[in-house]
Amino acid sequence: MNDMLVGKPLKRKEDQRLLTGKGRYVDDIRRPGETYAVFVRSPIAHGIIKSIDKEAALAAPGVLGVFTGKDIQRDEWGSIPCGWVVTDRQGEPHKAVPHYALTPDRARYVGDHLAVVVAETYEQARDGAELVEIEFEELEPVVTLAMAMEGEQIHDLAPQNLCYDWELGSRAEIDAIFETAHHVTSLDLVNNRLVPNAMEPRAAIAEYDSGLDSYTLWSTSQNPHMLRWMLSGSVTGIPETKIRVIAPDVGGGFGMKIYCYPEETTCLWLSKVIDRPVRWTGDRSESFLADTHARDHLTTVDLAMDKDGTFLGMKIDTTANMGAYLSNYATSIPTYFYATLFAGCYKTPVIYSNVRAVFTNTSPVDAYRGAGRPEAAYLIERVVDVAAREMGMDPIDIRRRNFIKPEDFPYQTPVILTYDIGDYDASLDEALRMIDYDGFPARREEAKARGKLRGIGLACYIEACGVAPSQLIGKMGAGAGLWESGQIRFNATGTAFVLTGTHGHGQGHETTFGQIVADMFGIPIEDVELIHGDTSQVPMGMGTYGSRSLAVGGSAIVRAGEKVIEKGRKIAAHMLEASVIDIEFEQGLFSVTGTNKSVTIKEVAERAYVPLDYPEGLEPGLDETAFYDPGNFTYPAGTHICEVEIDPRTGVLEIVDWVAVDDFGTVINPMIVEGQIHGGLAQGIGQAIMENGVYDPESGQLITGSFMDYCMPRADDLPSFRVGYTCTPCTHNPLGAKGAGEAGCIAAPPTLINAIVNALDIRHIDMPATGEKLWRIARDKIAAQ
């Protein structure tokens, strides 16, 4: 019998491997006879392909083939799909523009895939790619959101480059509210474009077995089963039984590795054409150009209030960038993962949003840590702060006045979602206590004496995790259900394999799921081995994103465990010569009620596989699978408060304190959760003050295409975060868990921007609030005095 592990900060099982260089990533895998693919990418943002001259490349040493989009099209491989249909204001589906692995006709962004060169070595493939001559008829690139609807049309299917014009709520109703409002706060916001920059670039190896007529694809994927499904069902027509996708150790995903990409699709095709394994590993420059980017919104938000600062209605108008093609879930991010969160933590009775998604000649945009919720939290928590300023109210008071209160749950928001539980005052109270809010004026004075401008800012965020209840997302246009599968397979010696359709790529699933299963059966965590990331081993799965792995995947494992216990009770009843209804199970022991007769799970497992004396009707084996479809999203929420100091002479910003109080429901491993918060905060702070993906507005060239120009946060840019928790357990899953992966990234931008505007005593500053911007504002203010 061991102590309960759930709730303990166990060190991560996987770190022995990952921190000692024993991880096995796609690029570590070698296949006999492998060849190398290098892509010829478009150097221009927009142009019709006039000709592609392969001759010189084909003659180069080691080159085995040069292929273009026309070659793949001859095999009738279709478009990479966008799996989420968003219906526009006229009731029409979004413009589903084609996205071929290699573009057959036109280059639509710098980095677009024009041709691929396969050679014996990487160097030969690279040299070959240099020799492919492509002539274009250049077209005017459409680069910025502002120019999208007037610019050159990028896809035949999409006039005015409009993917959809979508709304949620009633325009007439919101207009009526605004007419009666005492005050309206309006704010124009930029949600800056981000480049995800996972530590491990994307990579793929495809191998075709002509004997079996089947393919194996090793990919840096967050969801191997979904990748297989899309490749089979949408792109190739190859049966799923003939495609095996393996996602081994993956070095960070952040959403960017959810998708079916042109590179792995092309490698799969090439593996049969070349009839040898084909490998591709992206370099950092390719990652910048051709990984999906994120965010990139222009928004106007209007908040209507009565004279006491009670919210009456909110109106949101957003233009969202889809980039040049639709990535798999791109359409859903600025709609159903964004506008459905506009209630925030508040009882705003009427909300209307209008989102126009447009195509531009830039890298495709899709989910990235938070995926729609950071954009929602940023606009809500910024406009609420500005409203407090305009109404002459304390930013704490205006929030408390409008909070959904504990007695209001379940709370039906005006934007589809129903929150099951929460206590927003509790996390606000705890955060105020931890940061010593009342002591701030003294700290500000002390900073002033040192010549520094000190500011404080907070954000009370909410998000929706546990993607997702299939019925609900089906109504929203999703093309797949988002249940999860879990399997627990006991071995004859009492150890257990746990198979999950989620995929760990830094989240510590081996440990967290191990803790759950070890506790459930009273066995050591060392006896639990997690299997994930291989479509040939795990029966089915939907992958990892949207902080769903624990809430959905973990719940599926619990359900499978319950089935194992039910089966175990039957075996134990036989072993103990008792009736099944008299067998109870606790902490690894099956016992007969009211007696001291018991057998361990280990003994039961052994008997399950050595059924020499089994009675008729009792089935051998102890291996159960469950599929879990959540009843609702989960709704983590919390309050983050930070304090900053700005040196007005230099614009240098220091984050001097950061308090994060989150309600994630049940926490399985607080150390892993804290790590998730830290990582999310780093990325959110990066968005707020450093990161910005910029294309040259005239040429469409990505001019922040390396770490020289795209500023990533480093350890010394960040404070020592202080983390606290409140807990209202999720009401509808067996773990009571909500999800913690994205909270930091969602809470950080509004928290930090609110602190910066507080320090500078200004109304607004757009992200990224770089040192240069801060310095200019401080300089102008000093000059005005």
By three-state DSSP, how is residue 649 classified? coil
**Least Å distance between CB 766 and another protein?**
21
Per CB under 8 A, the segment of 282-290, 393-401, 481-489, 626-634 that binds another protein is 282-290
Site for another protein in 311-350 (CB under 8 A): none
**Least Å distance between CB 189 and another protein?**
26
Q: Which of 568, 570, 625 is nearest to 601 (CA)?
A: 568
Among 18, 63, 119, 131, binds another protein (CB under 8 A): 131
By three-state DSSP, how is residue 178 classified? helix
Q: Binding to another protein by residue 701, rule CB under 8 A?
A: yes
**Least Å distance between CB 119 and another protein?**
14
Binding pattern for the stretch 238-277 against another protein, x by CB under 8 A and - elsewhere: ----------------------------------------
For residue 469, the tally of other CB atoms under 10 A from its CB is 19
**Least Å distance between CB 111 and another protein?**
9
Compute the distance between CA of residue 617 and CA of residue 577 in angstroms, rounded to an integer.
15
Q: Binding to another protein by residue 73, rule CB under 8 A?
A: no
Q: Binding to another protein by residue 705, rule CB under 8 A?
A: yes
Q: Rg (Cα) of the chain, in Å, rounded? A: 27
The residues near 535 (Cβ < 8 Å, ≥ 6 apart) are 224, 225, 228, 240, 243, 244, 245, 246
- Considering the complex, state which of residue 141 and residue 506 has its C-beta at the smaller distance from another protein: 141
Among 446, 709, 761, 766, binds another protein (CB under 8 A): 709
Binding pattern for the stretch 82-111 against another protein, x by CB under 8 A and - elsewhere: ----------------------------x-
Among 126, 678, 722, 773, binds another protein (CB under 8 A): 126
Q: Binding to another protein by residue 144, rule CB under 8 A?
A: no
**Least Å distance between CB 39 and another protein?**
10
Among 73, 87, 285, 491, binds another protein (CB under 8 A): 285
**Least Å distance between CB 29 and another protein?**
26
Q: Which pair of tokens denotes residue 575? A: 């072993």
Does residue 657 contact residue 721 with C-beta atoms inside 8 Å? no
Among 156, 595, 706, 766, binds another protein (CB under 8 A): 706
User: Of all helices (H) and strands (E), which one includes residue 177?
Assistant: helix 171-180
Q: Binding to another protein by residue 140, rule CB under 8 A?
A: no
**Least Å distance between CB 102 and another protein?**
17
Compute the distance between CA of residue 558 and CA of residue 393 in angstroms, rounded to an integer.
47
Per CB under 8 A, the segment of 68-76, 227-235, 283-291, 624-632 that binds another protein is 283-291
What are the strands, taking DSSP E only, across 69-119?
A: 106-107, 113-119
Among 1, 212, 708, 783, binds another protein (CB under 8 A): 708
Q: Binding to another protein by residue 761, rule CB under 8 A?
A: no
Does residue 641 contact residue 430 with C-beta atoms inside 8 Å? no
Per CB under 8 A, the segment of 3-11, 455-463, 545-553, 705-713 that binds another protein is 705-713
- Considering the complex, state which of residue 284 and residue 475 has its C-beta at the smaller distance from another protein: 284
- Considering the complex, state which of residue 139 and residue 187 has its C-beta at the smaller distance from another protein: 139
Q: Binding to another protein by residue 566, rule CB under 8 A?
A: no
**Least Å distance between CB 401 and another protein?**
48
**Least Å distance between CB 760 and another protein?**
27
- Considering the complex, state which of residue 650 and residue 706 has its C-beta at the smaller distance from another protein: 706
Q: Binding to another protein by residue 288, rule CB under 8 A?
A: yes
> What phi and psi values does residue 41 have, to the nearest 5 degrees?
-105, 155
* 113 class by beta-carbon count within 10 Å (0-12 exposed, 13-18 middle, 19+ buried): buried
Q: Binding to another protein by residue 289, rule CB under 8 A?
A: yes
What are the strands, taking DSSP E only, across 100-240?
A: 106-107, 113-119, 133-138, 162-168, 183-194, 203-209, 214-219
Site for another protein in 671-700 (CB under 8 A): 696, 698-699
Compute the distance between CA of residue 454 and CA of residue 655 in angstroms, rounded to an integer.
10
Compute the distance between CA of residue 726 and CA of residue 223 in angstroms, rounded to an integer.
31
**Residue 354: CA atoms inside 13 Å, Cβ hemisphere, count?**
12
> What phi and psi values does residue 754 have, to the nearest 5 degrees?
-60, -35
Site for another protein in 398-417 (CB under 8 A): none
* 159 class by beta-carbon count within 10 Å (0-12 exposed, 13-18 middle, 19+ buried): exposed
Angle CA(300)–CA(304)–CA(310) in degrees, nearest 5?
A: 135
**Least Å distance between CB 44 and another protein?**
6
Among 273, 476, 540, 703, binds another protein (CB under 8 A): 703
**Least Å distance between CB 124 and another protein?**
14
> What phi and psi values does residue 676 have, to the nearest 5 degrees?
-65, -40
**Least Å distance between CB 46 and another protein?**
11
Backbone angle region of 370, left / alpha / beta, with phi > 0 → left and psi within -120 to 50 → alpha? left
Binding pattern for the stretch 27-66 against another protein, x by CB under 8 A and - elsewhere: --------------x-xx----------------------
**Least Å distance between CB 105 and another protein?**
20
Site for another protein in 343-382 (CB under 8 A): none
**Least Å distance between CB 691 and another protein?**
16
- Considering the complex, state which of residue 416 and residue 703 has its C-beta at the smaller distance from another protein: 703
By three-state DSSP, how is residue 505 classified? coil
- Considering the complex, state which of residue 288 and residue 336 has its C-beta at the smaller distance from another protein: 288
Does residue 456 contact residue 755 with C-beta atoms inside 8 Å? yes
**Least Å distance between CB 135 and another protein?**
10
Does residue 206 contact residue 270 with C-beta atoms inside 8 Å? yes
Binding-residue total with another protein (CB under 8 A): 21
**Least Å distance between CB 51 and another protein?**
14
Per CB under 8 A, the segment of 128-136, 454-462, 653-661, 729-737 that binds another protein is 128-136
* DSSP letter for each residue of 567-621: HHHHHHHHHHT--GGGEEEETTEEEETTSS-EEEHHHHHHHHH--TTPPTTPPP-
Q: Which of 568, 598, 562, 596 is nearest to 580 (CA)?
A: 568
Q: Which of 657, 656, 660 is nearest to 744 (CA)?
A: 660
- Considering the complex, state which of residue 195 and residue 462 has its C-beta at the smaller distance from another protein: 195
Pairing of strands 278-281, 35-41: parallel
The residues near 597 (Cβ < 8 Å, ≥ 6 apart) are 576, 578, 591
Residues forming a β-bridge with 37: 118
Q: Binding to another protein by residue 770, rule CB under 8 A?
A: no
Per CB under 8 A, the segment of 22-30, 125-133, 368-376, 530-538 that binds another protein is 125-133
**Least Å distance between CB 699 and another protein?**
5
Q: Binding to another protein by residue 130, rule CB under 8 A?
A: yes
Q: Which pair of tokens denotes residue 391? A: 């109404």
Angle CA(318)–CA(296)–CA(765) in degrees, nearest 5?
A: 85
- Considering the complex, state which of residue 110 and residue 653 has its C-beta at the smaller distance from another protein: 110
- Considering the complex, state which of residue 285 and residue 310 has its C-beta at the smaller distance from another protein: 285
Does residue 531 contact residue 501 with C-beta atoms inside 8 Å? no
Does residue 712 contact residue 197 with C-beta atoms inside 8 Å? yes
**Least Å distance between CB 127 and another protein?**
9
Per CB under 8 A, the segment of 129-137, 348-356, 717-725, 736-744 that binds another protein is 129-137
Q: Which residues of this chain interact with another protein, rule CB under 8 A?
A: 41, 43-44, 110, 126, 129-131, 285, 288-289, 696, 698-699, 701-703, 705-706, 708-709
